Amino acid sequence: MLDNKRRHIFNFPFDLLTKQQMLMRLEQCWSESTGFEYCVTPNVDHVVRGNKKAEYLSLYENAFISVCDSRILQKLARLCGVRFPEVIPGSDLTSELFLGRVQSDDSVLIIGASDELVARLLSDLNLDNVTHYNPPMGFMNNRDEVEKCLLLAESKPFKYLFFAVGSPRQEILAYELKSRGKATGIGFCIGASIDFLVGTESRAPKWVQALNFEWFYRFLQNPRRLWRRYFVDGLRIFPIFIKELSERGK
């Protein structure tokens, strides 16, 4: 395997990889491994949650790859002396995989996303070996439903497993699958990335992304759902940043 280059900052594990290096590691894993691994793309929300509840940190520590999804985290990390070579948003990675890597006959599992959304994805991309299950709202509070998801992931040798049920639910499912040791393939925790891929939600223009305002663009699209995430929970990254800065003597 390539050098993992894993570093810890903000009490969180990050692999200092470019997207190309990440894809190379994935290719090696597919060719060499017969078990299950998973990838995560932590952003500010994940880091704040992990610092609030330590039990969430193991979800990221045990990931095969953990890369930064956030330009804000990238800039704060740089002030602390850690340089992420590239920000790799989960939506970009999902698009790269579906549009450039997944072949029509590859065995794919999607957990989450509506039937209509997945049907549109399959139609757009001509995929014919996809298994899909969308668990009901609140399924993590029902162990039978969680088990149904896990057993489905273990039911056949999948190559790609996409968990689209939101964080931390998707990371918990991936972590449990790895712990059980029965599944195969590589899992990706992708949140709402399929919505972006098929166009039901739009990404911010490139110039907005370059200015680090994609979060605000998303907020304007859905202020009722996202105001607390960005303007209450998200601000908790700054005490974490100040603590990191102080511990590094910056």
Please check whether residue 248 lies inside any domain of the structure. Answer: no
pLDDT single digits (tens) 94-137:
999 999 999 989 999 999 999 999 999 998 898 989 999 999 99
Overall number of domains in the chain: 1
35 Cβ neighbours under 8 A, 6+ residues apart: 178, 181, 183, 184
228 assigned to some structural domain: yes
Is 246 within a domain? no
- Measured in whole angstroms, the distance separating CA 172 from the mean position of its chain's CA atoms is 12
Residue 247 domain-assigned (yes or no): no
* Residue 143 covered by a domain: yes
Per-residue model confidence (pLDDT) at position 173: 98
Strand ranges across the sheet with 108-112: 65-66, 36-40, 185-189, 160-164, 108-112, 130-133
pLDDT band at 41 (very low <50, low <70, confident <90, very high): very high
Query: Contact at 8 Å (CB) between 15 and 66?
Result: yes
Looking at 33-114, list the stretches that DSSP marks H as alpha helix, in order from N- to C-terminal side: 44-52, 57-61, 71-79, 90-100
Name the pTM for this structure: 0.90
- pLDDT tens string 48-82: 999 999 899 999 999 999 999 999 999 999 999 99
Which tokens in the block code for residue 119? 């049907």
Q: Are strands 130-133 and 36-40 parallel, antiparallel or unpaired?
A: unpaired
250 within a domain of the structure (yes/no): no
Length of the chain (residues) = 250
Which of 18-27, 203-212, 225-234 ranks highest by mean pLDDT? 18-27
**167 in any annotated domain:** yes
Which of 120, 147, 115 lies closest to 131, judged by CA? 115
Q: Which domain holds residue 161?
A: 6-241
Residue 1 belongs to a domain: no
